[in-house]
Amino acid sequence: MSAVEFCNVRKHYADLQALKGVSFSVEEGSFFGLLGPNGAGKSTLINAMSGLVVPSSGSIKVMGKDVISDYRETRRSLGLVPQELIADPFFNIRELLKLQSGYFGLKGAKQNAWIDELLERLALTDKADSLTHQLSGGMKRRALIAMSLVHKPQVLVLDEPTAGVDVDLRRTLWEFTRELHKNGHTIILTTHYLEEAEALCDKVAIMQKGQIKALDKTSALLSKHAYRYLKVSVPQSYLQQQAPLPPALQNLLVEDEASALVFKVDKEVALGEILGQLHQAQVPVEDISSRDATLEEVFIDLTADSGEVQQGEGKC
């Protein structure tokens, strides 16, 4: 079953087309990455799914229910951690969690116990009686995550949760989201840290200019990429007095590391052919290793390419 289904979703603000007919679905139980450069439409799509934005046309279903006509059910199924760090000057963290629970009609000892658990799990117990503006950015982010989970939603959407947080907190948030995923939550994550998406997400969609540019399992997206990366280790002395490489090799060179040359090679080209060219150019090869593209490299290639949009499994 699909946890979320987008069907030809469009959103325009005056002349700006923020979403240009987005269609895809997120399977229940998946850890889904929504990637794209700034202004690609990721947040608009997420806000439309959460009811913060009304789409101009198209439909969105969360756990099989329409976000417009069945909004009560969909909002009970969905938790959103917004990108902006939201503050409330009147209430402390525990009060905010209780108020948020109240909007969902949840109260009593059981709910209070769940709030205590959330505070503890997100290391907020000491700050439970603090006002939001007294908290650091990282603490505010944790509070927002707790707010999104008070009603135990099946689908959790995190809009750039690790933006501007330190390494420790980023690791903590990774562990926490992994645990939620393991417990059966469907997680939708937008992030600019592509190593984060690569490490966490089983499936990713790459958005650009309000459209889906690519959508596949993370592993498939990486292996389907037309290039591999060849790291050729050479002595440092060679790099210091390096003679120009022949144009055929120079065109493939993407990185000039301290003691290695990195070439971006079409997967169709045999490794032997490259080795032959290196030998002809009298490059003193010490070691050689090959790897598939990282998600970041796939992302850069896809978003730099203005070619045809791939809608993936985007029929609805």
| Binding-site ranges for another protein (CB under 8 A) | 13, 50-54, 71-73, 75-76, 78-80, 82, 84, 86-91, 96, 99-105, 107, 147-148
**Residue 108 or residue 247: which is nearer to another protein going by CB?**
108
Containing 316, the helix (H) or strand (E) segment is none
DSSP label of 267 = T
- Residue 220 CB, nearest approach to another protein (Å): 33
**Residue 26 or residue 150: which is nearer to another protein going by CB?**
150
**Residue 77 or residue 218: which is nearer to another protein going by CB?**
77
- Residue 86 CB, nearest approach to another protein (Å): 4
66-82 burial, b if ≥16 CB within 10 A, otherwise e? ebeebeeebbbbbbbbb
- Residue 47 CB, nearest approach to another protein (Å): 9
DSSP label of 108 = S
Q: Are 175 and 199 in contact (CB under 8 A)?
A: no
Tokens of 146: 């707790």
**Residue 75 or residue 225: which is nearer to another protein going by CB?**
75
**Residue 99 or residue 285: which is nearer to another protein going by CB?**
99
- For every residue of 209-260, DSSP letters joined together read TTEEEEEEEHHHHHHTSSEEEEEEE--HHHHHTPPPPPHHHHTTEEEE-SSE
- Residue 147 CB, nearest approach to another protein (Å): 6
Question: Cα(134)–Cα(86) distance, rounded to whole angstroms?
Answer: 12
- Residue 52 CB, nearest approach to another protein (Å): 6
In angstroms, the Cα distances linking 175 to 163, 168, 170, 171, 199 are 16, 11, 9, 6, 11
